Amino acid sequence: MAKVIMGKVRSNTQGDGRATLGTYLFDCLKKEGVTEVFGVPGDYNFTLFDTLQQCEGIKAVPTRNELNGGYAADGYARVKGLAALITTFGVGELSAANAIAGAYSENIPIIHIVGSPKSEKQKQHKFMHHTLMDGDYDAFRRVFEPISAYTAVLTPSNAMAEIPKAISIAKRTKKPVYLSVALDLVQQPLSTKVPKLEQAKTSESSLRSASKQARKMLKPAKQVVLLSDAKVKSWGWESLVREVAEKMQIPAASTTMGKGGFDESHPNHIGMYGGAFGSKKVQEVVESADCLIVAGFVPSDVNLANETAQLNPKKMIIVQPESVTIGGQEYKDILGEDMLRELSALGLTAEPPIPAADRPYNSGTQLDGSHPLTAQEYYPLIQRLLQPGDIVIAETGTFAYGLSQTQLPQGATYIAQGGWQSIGYATPAALGACMAAPKRRVLLFTGDGSLQLTVQELSSMMEYGCKPIVFVLNNGGYTIEKYLNFRVPVEDQPYNEIPGWNYTKLVEAFGGNAHTEQVRTIGELARAFHDSELQRTDKLCLIEMIVPDDMDAPEYLKLMSDELEKQEK
């Protein structure tokens, strides 16, 4: 990695060998495997950055703005399990609020650290820059309260209690936590002992009752199906859900938000479930099951395909991180992982053979095709080009819906903001993913409109030696929005058009050394991918996919748009 802030000279203590608030904070993060901290410096967080600069084994990764820093932290946490972000008081932290709220919504743990003005100034309620000029120093912490699992204002006397507590809450809830610290307190020595933290655990009696009830529902069931949803990924249950399907010999499908949580190359995986918008075959299997085990359920409009999903709660076993609901009855104080292990151990196996998988993109694509790019052709091609272990990042827009229907190879990590859907997320998230796993291949798929929000992070990626392959879908505007606003003819939606940028020239403007190609046909896309594969060993690659038909879109999105229009009438 070139030029990332470096400076590994001193140990993580102050001069006299004692830990300071700052060194303790970064030591705690390091113990959790966080070795990169995203963020933007400011005069209220200089002591945080200066301390970080001197810590060994953990470094700052500055981003071009705080929103991007938050998204990068999110992408990093999706690969490494936990991330950290440093912002400055008011202006910096509020810029990161969208990313933090997204992480809250999507169950991604981020330790958000805010540097605030000197404690004396705060006590005296002075009107300092970056404040609301009303002396209220708690205003921004309150902004973060509903979008963080925990907030605390650190001092040298509470840091040894608050920092481990905040990290433990972030890990348990998989949500962001907020820690603010005054500029002058970061380098002060600590003055308390670490209290023992309570860990969440399963109530044995509750688990026994749930297990008995589950057996009652499962035993007479003829067709049992597993549905793997969003929280499977956040809570790291990938191997547990696979084991349930294997031990019970049942088919498994994934929801849109849960994509990638169940190994899609596994013989029990039958495809993606998307209510009326997705595969009819998968819909039939899931909805006709007489017992449906749903792991990590998030009953959102995205997952329930705008309420077209027909899932009967009376036939469902819903396994959540700290509870289980069976046929509508909730059992509290059960860790989801314990319930999944229990289901695997029940010794119940299904009779019928696993139905054949439905993969919309398994049809062949002519790689030498010389006609203009269309979704119908490029998604099957993309699916063929994916490799085991890839990190695939899909931006909100037509790409997210199209890519949700691909079959991922084994060991692939799929990153998308399934529910929060903030455009601009994917590019900085790709920076985070590259930092978290420098040896893995990272493929970023972004629309042109989304890229225009957070494009600067291409420059961070080149600066720090990241080598993703970036696919920019140039369809000249917000195509997905044109599908979703069916009330008005497309010609009357000039607000859904965007300025035409020269995407391949961006990398030059950002001062980087990248390999770029512009492609207009499926044959050119296949060749560009092949070239990028050779070039990406030492540089970022950017492939601009020029699609002449601005209404070209994947089938899933078309069905969704039709259904939404019907529902509106």
Residues that bind ligand TPP (CB under 6 A): 395-399, 421-424, 447-450, 473, 475, 478-481
* C-beta closer to ligand TPP: residue 173 or 396: 396
* C-beta closer to ligand TPP: residue 117 or 447: 447
**DSSP assignment letter at 480:** H
Alpha-carbon distance values, 152 to 149, 329, 386 (Å): 11, 36, 43
* C-beta closer to ligand TPP: residue 466 or 480: 480
Handedness of CA 481, 484, 486, 487 (dihedral sign): negative
DSSP codes, 22-74: HHHHHHHHHHTT--EEEE---TTTHHHHHHHHH-TT-EEEE-SSHHHHHHHHH
Are 502 and 451 in contact by the 8 Å Cβ rule? The answer is no
* C-beta closer to ligand TPP: residue 319 or 392: 392
Alpha-carbon distance values, 514 to 62, 270, 458 (Å): 20, 39, 10
Name the minimum Å distance from CB 477 to ligand TPP: 6
Which amino acid is located at 108 in the chain? I
As given in the structure block, the two tokens for residue 308 are 């077209």
* C-beta closer to ligand TPP: residue 178 or 478: 478
* C-beta closer to ligand TPP: residue 101 or 431: 101
Name the minimum Å distance from CB 80 to ligand TPP: 25
Name the minimum Å distance from CB 20 to ligand TPP: 38
Name the minimum Å distance from CB 310 to ligand TPP: 27
368: buried, middle or exposed (CB in 10 Å: 19+, 13-18, 0-12)? exposed
* C-beta closer to ligand TPP: residue 166 or 547: 547
Name the minimum Å distance from CB 98 to ligand TPP: 7
As given in the structure block, the two tokens for residue 478 are 């917000």
Strands ordered across the beta sheet of 442-447: 413-415, 391-394, 442-447, 469-474, 540-546, 514-519
Name the minimum Å distance from CB 546 to ligand TPP: 13
Handedness of CA 119, 30, 170, 434 (dihedral sign): positive
Are 507 and 540 in contact by the 8 Å Cβ rule? The answer is yes
* C-beta closer to ligand TPP: residue 177 or 506: 506
- The rounded distance, in Å, linking the Cα atoms of 59 and 395 is 27
* C-beta closer to ligand TPP: residue 102 or 117: 102
The partner residues of 442 in beta bridges, in order of sequence, read: 391
Name the minimum Å distance from CB 453 to ligand TPP: 7
Name the minimum Å distance from CB 533 to ligand TPP: 24
Name the minimum Å distance from CB 399 to ligand TPP: 6
| Count of helices and strands (H, E) across the chain | 22, 19
Q: Which residue has the closest beta carbon to ligand TPP?
A: 447
